[in-house]
Amino acid sequence: MTNIRKSHPLIKIINHSFIDLPAPSNISAWWNFGSLLGVCLILQILTGLFLAMHYTSDTMTAFSSVT
């Protein structure tokens, strides 16, 4: 009996893309760590821009915008 992930056409696409990914052997845990660092950097830049757009220096308007 064949494995369903190798015989079903839709699951076969996911299998070849994620599970049996033909990746070089020199990709290690540092590659994953670097990717996560990149995602964190992009997330911090986006949230920083979002906060900078809504920043007010006046104390009365700053506290009234929260409540």
The confidence score (pLDDT) of residue 29 equals: 77
HEC string for 4-62:
HHHHCHHHHHHHHHHHCCCCCCCCCHHHHHHHHHHHHHHHHHHHHHHHHHCCCCCHHHH
Is residue 2 within 8 A of residue 11, CB to CB? The reply is no
Per-residue pLDDT of the chain (67 residues; tens, 9 = 90+): 568 878 888 988 888 877 777 777 787 778 888 889 999 999 999 999 999 998 888 888 877 766 6
The answer to whether the predicted template modeling score (pTM) of the entire model surpasses 0.75 is no
